[in-house]
Chains A and B, each alone.
Chain A
């Protein structure tokens, strides 16, 4: 290889600028949308730009953010998890049942409840992943089945009733606002996002999640087992459903078999608005956080504007569709930048 190579064709876009453009299109776009929407409501909606309202949004966003963090993993591998809402319900009744056990000290009860929630969620998620990879069934169907099974299990465990009487220290922690601006449950959500971000960005495991979502056959032929990573992604999604259940208990202080109805769709919406591609392999968990913020800001803002409960879902639905359209457009733009 001693010959001189042909000079590269002159490049109007330098690599540095291309990188910046990529950042702008891929990541900054959603953030910009969030800023604009927030500005819009700050100006137009009464009481929107008040500290109290900001706190309320932080509180309301927590559950969906945690669910969406796990959902991001699943969608990155090219799957979908429709079961997280009812898995959350199951986890709330399991967690609450453990927590009201009077033979345990409050600290022990809370710790055990957390472990029980996470374990229950992880098992449900593992089953989702294992069944869909083992028998090559689309995760859409398997998790639809799990949605029903977990909802049923939640009723069985709770005997079809809400569970109340959680330890006071637990309830107090749920109401805690650290430093007067950071609700404890929002902190939990931020920690989950941070953990997800770290895993996806810096670890070998995270890299494999992206690779599997991009082309699982190429990953298999490169000497890996893509199914392992798919099952792991579903297990993570179940795990975050368990954590989200704890957040639910912190916020509402009841374990309920009918909790979480429709939560899976909000989580998916947050992931998609955040720029993660439904076909897998592309996206970011920071985007998911921003997506969850956009959904909640819209919902609160529209409410304060006096848009009725009937019209609100129409607007939010439109925004979701718009986000997917923008996603397709963004892909085209990105492909042009070398």
Chain B
């Protein structure tokens, strides 16, 4: 490797209780697209935060462009030409796209007045570069997640970045959006931009990556040319063992009677009615593009958002659900797509998160029995193999996969007959993901009804007995397992959008 843009020598970072990174040495060549893979907790986020100037290394050195690189703040990092597109988008929703793009150096006229013309002109140019065809005066809140992602990338480009770090950019994107993102990445690469690309989706990295670095438990396992590697090779390096079948479809689990049926559910005057049902012991997939109304339908069903009309039956009996507490009382559980914002009490401990769904179970006369609570929490933590230093650890400090397990644990603690899971494996690493799949099969075998909303089509096709497809708030089709076909499901998902 002749031209190294970024090099790490023996870099380590320790937090009280955890060695986040240890002795990581790595060289990134100028102009390459370098993939970084690893399970959650492997050290990817820490690595990014070191580059971003959010953390400082405890040991080792980093050199960028041949000079020592020691950013103390994210601003320092940007000044040096390293730009990071974080997984959680950092846009200001009430400002326009153009203002977001150039927030750090708005073009000015005399007396510090913003030069709107220049602002919008430059914004148009930047948006063109990432292939986003929207008016730069649009407020960011009006955009979809995929578009926001592109705005973030455009923003990164606006600063003449030499090194662009993309942290799981495809986590919320649909296949066509991913294809477009990849086209942009390739174009940037052709222009000489060096890219570090972090992902959980193994299949996609081959398309854009030159080399791959794999982290495990804070240590660097290997850096290799992607050419000649296979997915199983990578998985083996990531988790240190083979994974035969990720999903583990269990043919012995046979759906029984209808557990939950929804008839003519209407959210508001503008959206069409929807009807569907899930059986006991069935995993029902819900496919569709991001923004196709899947999440909204599930939230309305659960009583999280208001609905106009609709008949819900549980085990054949009609039930009235106007608030989440009604749904929970009738044995429904909802794992939301936003686990930090809506699923967890981040600053509270693991045990308190688990028992929140039914404190009555571990209390008497209104007093919490801490011993019973700890016992119940410890049981579930062991059963779900939650990696935590103890049940007293704040869930904020757990990795994404372990946080998701805590959300599942809280519903298992309550006891549930039908689970609605919205993007249950988003941001979850492959090892924890597989454990979640296994758990779902265990629940299905125990005759629970499971509704699984996901943007990851291979996941749905691997896990589900049936898939219903949303397109523009409508259920446009239902595909049984025997007829699963990626193309067919995708064309259903697009159906309502391509029609005039």
Contact = CB atoms under 8 A, between A and B. Distances in A.
A6 B14 contact: no
Interface string A101-120: 00000000000000000000
Interface string A193-230: 00000000011110110110011011111111100000
Contacts of B304: 220-221
Interface string B390-402: 1011101100000
Interface stretch (A12-20, A91-99, A146-154): A12-20
Interface in A1-59: 1, 3, 5-6, 8-13, 15, 18-19, 21
Contact of B356 (A5, A219, A337): A219
Interface in B428-449: 435, 438
B234 to A, nearest CB: 17
A136 interface: no
Contacts of B240: 6
Interface in B282-332: 302, 304, 323-325, 327-329
Given A6-B240, A217-B342, A222 B17 contact: no
A218 B19 contact: no
B136 interface: no
Nearest to A280: B347
Contacts of A19: 392
B330 to A, nearest CB: 10
Interface string B362-390: 01001110000000000000010101011
A18 B390 CA distance: 11
Nearest to A202: B367
A185 B284 CA distance: 64
A1 B366 contact: no
Given A3-B241, A15-B389, A214-B348, A223 B367 contact: no
Contacts of A21: 16
Contacts of B341: 215, 217-218
Nearest to B302: A221
B334 interface: yes
A335 interface: yes
Q: Size range of the interface on B?
A: 35 or more
A158 B368 CA distance: 44
Nearest to B239: A6
Most A CB contacts (10 A, CB to CB) among B347, B397, B414 go to B347
A282 interface: yes
A134 interface: no
Contacts of B132: none
A18 B325 contact: no
B346 A11 contact: no
Given A208-B359, A215-B344, A281-B347, A223 B327 contact: yes
B18 A223 contact: no
Contacts of A5: 385, 387
B323 A225 contact: yes
Nearest to A225: B325
Contact of A337 (B17, B336, B359, B383): B17
A332 interface: no
B410 interface: yes
Contact of A224 (B325, B387, B435): B325
B17 A18 contact: yes
A221 B368 contact: no
Contacts of B328: 222-223
Interface residues of A, number: 39
B217 interface: yes
Nearest to B17: A338
B345 interface: yes
B390 A15 contact: yes
Contact of A11 (B17, B325, B387): B17
B175 interface: no
Contacts of A211: 345, 348, 352, 356
A153 B210 CA distance: 75
B218 interface: yes
Nearest to B373: A207
Given A220-B324, A221-B304, A221-B334, A11 B18 contact: yes
Contacts of A18: 16-17, 389
Nearest to B332: A223
B61 interface: no
A221 B342 contact: yes
Nearest to B39: A6
Given A6-B217, A11-B18, A18-B17, A223 B348 contact: no
Contacts of A12: 14, 16-17, 19
Contacts of B393: 338
Contacts of A225: 323, 325
A336 B20 CA distance: 12
A11 B389 contact: yes
B15 A8 contact: no
Contacts of B218: 9
Given A15-B389, A204-B359, A338 B345 contact: no
A207 B352 CA distance: 8
B348 A210 contact: yes
A282 B347 contact: yes
A223 B428 CA distance: 25
B74 interface: no
Most A CB contacts (10 A, CB to CB) among B344, B356, B387, B438 go to B356
Contact of A207 (B327, B344, B359, B389): B359
B18 A202 contact: no
B80 interface: no
B367 A222 contact: no
Contacts of A223: 324-325, 327-329, 357, 414
A338 B397 contact: yes
A218 B342 contact: yes
B59 to A, nearest CB: 14
B10 interface: no
A129 to B, nearest CB: 18
Nearest to A206: B368
B389 A222 contact: no
B66 interface: no
Most B CB contacts (10 A, CB to CB) among A3, A210, A281 go to A3
A214 B14 CA distance: 27
Contacts of B347: 214, 281-282
A245 to B, nearest CB: 28
Nearest to A4: B241
Given A1-B385, A221-B324, A204 B343 contact: no
Contacts of B352: 207, 210-211
A6 B390 CA distance: 16
B60 interface: no
Contacts of A222: 324, 328, 356-357, 410
Most B CB contacts (10 A, CB to CB) among A207, A217, A220, A223 go to A223
Contacts of A11: 17-18, 389
11 contacts: A1-B383, A10-B19, A12-B19, A15-B392, A18-B16, A207-B356, A211-B356, A214-B345, A221-B343, A338-B16, A338-B397
Interface of A: 1, 3, 5-6, 8-13, 15, 18-19, 21, 202-205, 207-208, 210-211, 214-215, 217-225, 281-282, 335-338
Given A11-B18, A220-B324, 17 more contacts: A3-B241, A6-B240, A9-B217, A10-B19, A204-B360, A207-B356, A207-B368, A210-B352, A211-B345, A215-B344, A219-B345, A220-B323, A222-B324, A222-B356, A223-B327, A338-B389, A338-B397
Which 5 pairs between the two chains have the least Cβ-Cβ distance? A223-B328, A338-B17, A214-B345, A13-B16, A223-B325
